[in-house]
Amino acid sequence: MPAFPDAYAELEPFADWALPSESDRYAKRLATPMSELQAFYDAVFPRLEDSTDYLKGVPLEGISEQDRNLVWLFASLVTVSFPVEVWRQPRVPDSGASSIDVVVEPGP
């Protein structure tokens, strides 16, 4: 079964970004070179832009697996937007060795 709803078939190559934990999304961002982060952003950002009405029509209660994957993919876009739109590097500048780790997070 495809990871995402039919209308998002072209995002299939990015299915490995559909990660349910913020710590995994952040770790993947740190482990990915800027060129790939940019490519991910360029492909996924326009789809978030044209999907706001669709997403507003997806209740979280009883969400389908494909819609859930789509939420996690867009959550990865949120994480990746910082290096692409602001930092120009995967890490937060001046953050050195510091880390802030999620210990409680909700589902979709």
Distance of closest approach, residue 63 Cβ to other proteins, in angstroms = 7
Are the beta carbons of 44 and 11 closer than 8 angstroms?
yes
* Residue 92 binds other proteins, judged by CB under 8 A: yes
* Residue 81 binds other proteins, judged by CB under 8 A: yes
Radius of gyration of the chain (CA): 14
**Torsion of the alpha carbons at 72, 73, 79 and 81, rounded to the nearest 10:** -150
Distance of closest approach, residue 75 Cβ to other proteins, in angstroms = 5
| Type of residue numbered 96 | G
Distance of closest approach, residue 9 Cβ to other proteins, in angstroms = 18
- Using CA atoms, how far apart are residues 70 and 74, in angstroms rounded to an integer? 6
* Residue 22 binds other proteins, judged by CB under 8 A: yes
| Type of residue numbered 31 | A
* Binding range to other proteins, per CB under 8 A, among 1-9, 13-21, 30-38, 60-68: 60-68
Give residue 103's Cα distance to chain centre. 19
Please give the residue ranges that form the binding site for other proteins (CB under 8 A): 22, 26, 45, 48-49, 52, 55-60, 63, 67, 70-71, 74-75, 77-79, 81-82, 85-87, 92-106, 108
